[in-house]
Amino acid sequence: MKQSFLLMMMFMLISCSSAQDLKSIKLNAPNLTRGDVLMKAFSNRKSTREFSDKMLSQQDLSDLVWAANGINRPNEGKKTAPSSQNRQDIKIYVCMADGNYLYNASNGTLEFISEGDVRPLKAPVCLILVSNTNETWGAIDGGIVSQNISLFCSGIGLATVPRAQMDADALKKALKLTGTQTLILNHPVGYFK
């Protein structure tokens, strides 16, 4: 009886500690005063496929997803990236070595989706752009978000490259996408090697 009780207590402790690791991540408020001027960002913009192994700082990650498609007009719920007919159909999934998250712009959080490393290119962070529709406008809106990511990275000195190549089946499963959601692009992001 004692042995069963001890085993049950150990199981509960292990379960609790594992569950604590799989929580949403509260992001920092975006730092709106950082970065180069826009023309300098255009001048510095380039595609990079080699990254340092160092994980992005919490501020860099927070600012990155906000610049990509965060809410910049809270009173209206409007975002940094325009979208066709204000559909706001682009969702940003954040894949890291330890797990996969969905960016919740309204709450300023990364919502935990699943464990496992499904990054299409091994950078510290990989942003996956997903459209909630199968229409052409979703691809156009995804391109606009992709440009926001590229310019942000250029402006603060992060490395990135927009890519269409990815394991669609593995990503759809890991990100728990529905039949109407379409993978558009992925952006590996990290510090320069």
Give the domain CATH number at 126.
Answer: 3.40.109.10
| Residue 4 belongs to a domain | no
| Residue 11 belongs to a domain | no
Report the SS3 class of residue 41: helix
Question: How many independent structural domains does the chain possess?
Answer: 1
pLDDT given for residue 9 in this prediction: 53
Residue 93, pLDDT > 50, answer: yes
Residue 14, pLDDT > 60, answer: no
Closest listed residue to residue 58, CA positions, set 22, 2, 108: 108
Report the SS3 class of residue 125: strand
Question: Tens digit of pLDDT for each residue in 141-178?
Answer: 999 999 999 999 999 999 999 999 999 999 999 999 99
Residue 21, pLDDT > 70, answer: no
pLDDT given for residue 6 in this prediction: 47
pLDDT given for residue 84 in this prediction: 82
Q: In which domain, by residue range, is 54 found? A: 24-190
Average pLDDT over residues 28-54: 89
Average pLDDT over residues 63-82: 96
Contacts of 109 (CB under 8 A, 6+ apart): 24, 25, 26, 27, 103
| Residue 17 belongs to a domain | no
